Structure 1
Amino acid sequence: MLRRLLVVLLTIVTILAAGWLALRRGDIPYDTLEMAYALPDSQFMTLDDGLKVHYTDTGPRDRSIVVLVHGYSASLHTWNDWRETLDDDFRVITLDLPGHGLSRAEGAERATIERFAEVVAQATDRLEAERFTIAGNSMGGNTAWMFALTYPERVDGLALVDASGWPKTTEEDESSPLIFKLLGNPVARAVLKDLDMSSLVRSGLEDSYTDQSFVTDELVERYVALSRGPGHRETLLGIMATERTPVTAEKLSAIQVPTLVMWGRDDNLVPVAHAQLFTDAIEGAEQVIYDGVGHLPQEEVAAQSAEDMRAFLGRVEWEAMSVEEIEPAGDPRLLEDRPEASGN
């Protein structure tokens, strides 16, 4: 009887092992990923510490600058619609964070918000972008407000798009998408690290959008492929394994620049209630809530959210420039935003 039980157990283990091996997926070389996912405006830089960063830098050089930072497991592609709208009037910089998109990975131990803010600082230094508005979505929003606190002298404005950072309530945590619950478990992370994550990625994206037509096979394929860049899975799992320091109202009160809080009312990942927490904590912050929209308003309502951002950047630019500089310039694009900014 015991012998038969051992045979059955061995058979089950063998089947599970075979299934695990069948689902294993190796890394995809960067050359292959770049052929598929580099944009016409893609560029690369190597920072002083050796990190190779993928970025875009478009728009007029005589206007103010906005830096756009993507969220967890995403890439600079999430800002394509915004960039195409905003770079008519502003200099727009987007970049892939380490271990995301086409930027190279670092060790999992470096996958922290503080490090991401440092990379933004180093990359913009190389691009001679001394001061700018920084905007971020989700984890990129966490990076954005961390950057504003760490490098206040470099920030003209701040935009938080469904930004993370506040601790979740028990109820909010229980309603998190399945993929985040699994990645929050160390045993599950170890098992899933090398497996085909397509179904889980699709599920996570379905939770991110209210309009499910955005969740195409091409989108899922891009997320999965870019997560398989060398070292990227270690970075993504390292982020989930690292305890982040939660934000507090006291900490955010140090931010003294114009701030825009943008949120999808139906966000399943970072509840819309967190929008009000940011708005209340940052003096003078404005808030825009998009009905019927999920975690990625920059994609789901690209035209409306880009226009809201364009108007905000115009106000930031107006406030950042002196009257002496504006009057002789006579730039009609600045004058378009003047009534909104001045209240006349």
Structure 2
Amino acid sequence: MPFAKTSDGLAVHYEVHGRGRPLVLISGQSNTLHWWDRVRGDFESRFTTIVLDHLGTGESDKPDADVYSTPRFAADVVSVLDDLGIDRAHVYGTSMGGRIAQWIAVRHPERVDRLVLGCTSPGGRHGVERGADVRKALADPDPAAVRRALLDLMYTPKWRVRVPGPYYTLGDRHMPAYARRRHLRASARHDSWDVLPSITAPTLVLHGTDDLFNPTANAPLLAERIPDARLHLIPGARHGYFEEFRDVASPLVADFLEG
């Protein structure tokens, strides 16, 4: 089981699959590398995929300390690339993974070939927040009710009937409560607005038109703020567009990455 050591000595678990040019796939908040299990195979004949457990999740270290932030998670990804001896890679992040990917492109531009930002946001006062009804549903004290709300935000009812599970995007069930709180805070504190214009990597912004979890209005904000970014909205898709609409999203991403 491979681990990369961060600059402060923490261990980040990762996996490598496939063959071809390196592609880092970055998971959402409070999720492990299994976030990509249904989708990773779409890329492995054309790319060497690299997936990782964020600090606080999966097999990675879980410090109960103030070390969780989207810029820090970006540095952890670079630590994984260093451990593999990879100088430059494509980067594809979804949800909080897209926030992390923004910081990789901003702070480590020499490490990013092409960038894909999926169902994500610039955060801060410029980002579009989810509605009060969504926040209320996710704050329900009943874990079963929160799970039902998350499923509805991620996937359409039609897809949930066709694919009854397991679902890999609802959070790491074994994650300590303190780490879950710290992940939530890290994502909420993300604000890349001022630095987005400095991104030099060719960028594709993807989003579902029916995403209420991370409102679709964030996609054009990112695309307009990042120089020469492309924008593609997937009709009818919710937050889990990359799974439910993989027949559309994965070819779009692969073709973009191959230039």
Quick check: TM above 0.5? yes
Q: Larger radius of gyration, structure 1 or 2?
A: 1
Say whether the 8 Å CA contact 2:138–2:149 is kept in structure 1. no
Post-superposition CA distance 1:242-286 (Å, at most 9, x none): 5514232x4211011110001111001111111101111111111
The one of 241, 247, 253 equivalent to 1:303 is 247
Q: What does residue range 116-265 of structure 1 map to in structure 2 within 5 Å?
A: 116-167=73-124, 168-169=127-128, 172-178=130-136, 180-181=138-139, 197-211=143-157, 213-214=159-160, 216=164, 218-219=166-167, 223=170, 226-229=172-175, 232-242=176-186, 244-248=189-193, 250-265=194-209
| TM-score normalised by structure 1 residue count | 0.67
* Paired position in structure 1 for 2:35: 78
Say whether the 8 Å CA contact 2:69–2:190 is kept in structure 1. no
1:55 equivalent in alignment to 2:17: no
Change (3 A) 1:291 1:211: farther
What is the total number of aligned residue pairs between the two structures? 253
Change (3 A) 1:213 1:102: farther
Instruction: Give the deviation of 1:169 after TM superposition.
Output: 4.8
Change (3 A) 1:88 1:142: same
Sequence identity percentage: 29
Change (3 A) 1:264 1:113: same
Alpha-carbon distance between aligned partners in 2 of 1:96 and 1:211, rounded to the nearest angstrom: 29
More helix by share: 1
Alpha-carbon distance between aligned partners in 2 of 1:152 and 1:251, rounded to the nearest angstrom: 12
Instruction: Give ranges in structure 2 of 5+ residues lacking alignment.
Output: none
Change (3 A) 1:219 1:307: same
Instruction: Give the deviation of 1:153 after TM superposition.
Output: 1.2
Say whether the 8 Å CA contact 1:138–1:162 is kept in structure 2. yes
Instruction: Give the deviation of 1:81 after TM superposition.
Output: 3.3
Alpha-carbon distance between aligned partners in 1 of 2:150 and 2:83, rounded to the nearest angstrom: 35
More strand by share: 2
Alpha-carbon distance between aligned partners in 2 of 1:213 and 1:297, rounded to the nearest angstrom: 11
Say whether the 8 Å CA contact 1:108–1:234 is kept in structure 2. no
Alpha-carbon distance between aligned partners in 2 of 1:264 and 1:122, rounded to the nearest angstrom: 31
SS in 2 for 1:164: coil
Alpha-carbon distance between aligned partners in 2 of 1:175 and 1:158, rounded to the nearest angstrom: 32
Say whether the 8 Å CA contact 1:137–1:162 is kept in structure 2. yes
Amino acid at match of 2:235: D
Amino acid at match of 1:244: R
1:276 equivalent in alignment to 2:235: no
The one of 80, 89, 94 equivalent to 2:46 is 89
Alpha-carbon distance between aligned partners in 2 of 1:134 and 1:237, rounded to the nearest angstrom: 26
Post-superposition CA distance 1:145-174 (Å, at most 9, x none): 01111111111111000013334457x442
Q: CA RMSD in A?
A: 2.4
SS in 2 for 1:81: coil
SS in 2 for 1:227: coil
Say whether the 8 Å CA contact 2:32–2:53 is kept in structure 1. yes
Say whether the 8 Å CA contact 1:70–1:140 is kept in structure 2. yes
* Paired position in structure 2 for 1:293: 237
Change (3 A) 1:179 1:115: farther
Instruction: Give ranges in structure 1 of 5+ residues lacking alignment.
Output: 1-42, 183-191, 316-344
